[in-house]
Amino acid sequence: MNNRHAFWLALIVAVLVFWTGILLGVMLEKNRANKLQQFYYESETNIFDILMQQDLLKGSKFCDLVIAENIVFADKIYSEAKNLEKYDNAAKITSELIMLHRRYDVLRVMLWNNIIQQEDCFKNKTNVIIYLYQYNNPSLEVKAKQSAMSKALLELKNKNGLSVILIPIASDTDVKSMKILKQKYNLTLTPMIFINSEHKITEVTSVEELEKYIQ
């Protein structure tokens, strides 16, 4: 019976449509990754520029400028991180964003380290909040906790604006320098909010409670 050709014909059409869809999906995800990559390159250039600038402007009289540059940069990569997270949630086929995520983490560790190096400048003038979270397969409990913590931190940042530098970093993306900093400050638990190299908060806390730790 001629109609039985439909079994093969449908298979061929389904395979064609399916693989076309997969290829378009790969292209779409690559396109999104490329878009973020552009932002990343820009941020990478910025951090090198800032590092160089700070090397040239050593001395307490330039502190305000150093702080301002760091805050602007931290805010920029924070908003890029939000975009990355959204694209990451939508990326189902390719794994390009995982690598980009790691590169952003390196960038954020560089920023954190730079702030540590300029500690005298930042002390008593601005608050540095490091938010360490789990990126790889967090449990439901951890996911819920992280979701609430990031909401609290965003509220805190919105409320206190330029007096807060917020740096969220994934603690489990195998960034070596990150491991060293974690060891240095004995940061063993995640998620954790680490305020001004001093206070370690591992439970979800209200904005008012967090404000007690900042200057």
**21 contributes a contact to another protein by CB under 8 A:** yes
How far apart are CB 184 and another protein at their closest, in Å? 29
Bridge partners of 194, per DSSP, are 130, 200
**10 contributes a contact to another protein by CB under 8 A:** yes
**99 contributes a contact to another protein by CB under 8 A:** no
* Nearest to another protein of 50, 164 (CB atom): 164
How far apart are CB 177 and another protein at their closest, in Å? 28
**176 contributes a contact to another protein by CB under 8 A:** no
Alpha-carbon gap, residue 108 to 81, rounded angstroms: 10
Alpha-carbon gap, residue 116 to 136, rounded angstroms: 27
**2-38 burial string, b = 16+ CB within 10 Å, else e?**
eeeeeeeeeeeeeeeeeeeeeeeeeeebbebbeebbe
Considering only residues 115 through 174, tell me which ones interact with another protein, judged by CB under 8 A. Answer: 140-141, 143-145, 147-148, 151-152, 154-155
**41 contributes a contact to another protein by CB under 8 A:** no
Beta strand segments in 78-190, E: 127-133, 164-170
Burial grade of 202 (CB within 10 A; 0-12, 13-18, 19 or more)? middle
Question: Which residue type, as a one-letter code, is found at position 68?
Answer: A
Among 93, 162, 180, 189, binds another protein (CB under 8 A): 93
Query: Which stretches of the chain bind another protein, using CB under 8 A?
Result: 1-4, 6-7, 9-11, 13-14, 17-18, 21-22, 24-25, 28-29, 32, 82, 86-87, 89-93, 95, 140-141, 143-145, 147-148, 151-152, 154-155, 204-209
